[in-house]
Amino acid sequence: MSTPHDIPAAAPDSPSVGLRWAVKRSFLDYLARTPGSRAYVAGGVTANSVSEVTFPPAADAVDQADPSGALVYRFQGEVRYIGHGGLLHVAITDPIVTLAGDIGTLTIASVDEEDRHVRVELATLTVSARTAGDDGISWEATDVRLAPAGVAVFGDVYQAGELMAPLYVYLPPTKSSA
């Protein structure tokens, strides 16, 4: 039987640079007990032994261009969860987190019914711990909730506000910020 552990694993010593997320544990557990389910990664996404996937930072990973002072963290790559012969197809693509203070949103790239590129607000989150210094930037959000627009992504099974997996961001120091 195939499970999400079929995702290529990160090398044991490779750091989890980027956005690390397990989406929702009960969803991954459900896939693991659904015969024939698979997860596919692309664009540099890796998975660890506990089925968290890590999206690498995009070239312009952090941006504070927003006049409101919001921080924009951009990541790239994709994970696709497939099950029930393809009827279940959940894709998390090119995630972006926007933080205003400790409150943020997670959006993903998608296409609408007319094949236009759109971004979907998948979740809201609250940062619970944060460090920034010579070692780079890291923060985590334990209160990650499904946003109204994210309900359809999971086939309308979860309601808006459903608790999702904690989300972790780590970005090493860059030369320009050193």
Which residues contact ligand HEM (rule: CB under 6 A)? Answer: 24, 26-27, 30, 33, 84, 87-88, 90, 154-155, 157
Please report how close the Cβ of residue 78 comes to ligand HEM at its closest, in angstroms. 16
Please report how close the Cβ of residue 87 comes to ligand HEM at its closest, in angstroms. 4
Q: Of 30 and 40, which has the nearer Cβ to ligand HEM?
A: 30
Q: Of 139 and 158, which has the nearer Cβ to ligand HEM?
A: 158
Would you tell me how many other CB atoms lie within 10 Å of the CB of residue 41? Answer: 19
Please report how close the Cβ of residue 117 comes to ligand HEM at its closest, in angstroms. 21
Q: Of 101 and 155, which has the nearer Cβ to ligand HEM?
A: 155
Burial zone of 124 (CB within 10 Å; 0-12 exposed, 13-18 middle, 19+ buried): buried
58: which 2 tokens?
């995009």
155: which 2 tokens?
């086939």
Task: For residues 24 and 120, give the distance between their C-alpha atoms in angstroms, rounded to a whole number.
Answer: 17
Q: Of 132 and 157, which has the nearer Cβ to ligand HEM?
A: 157
Which residue lies nearest ligand HEM, judged by its C-beta?
Answer: 155
Give the number of residues written for the chain. 178
Decide if 23 contacts 57 (C-beta within 8 A).
no
Q: Facing residues of 129 across strands?
A: 140
Please report how close the Cβ of residue 177 comes to ligand HEM at its closest, in angstroms. 39
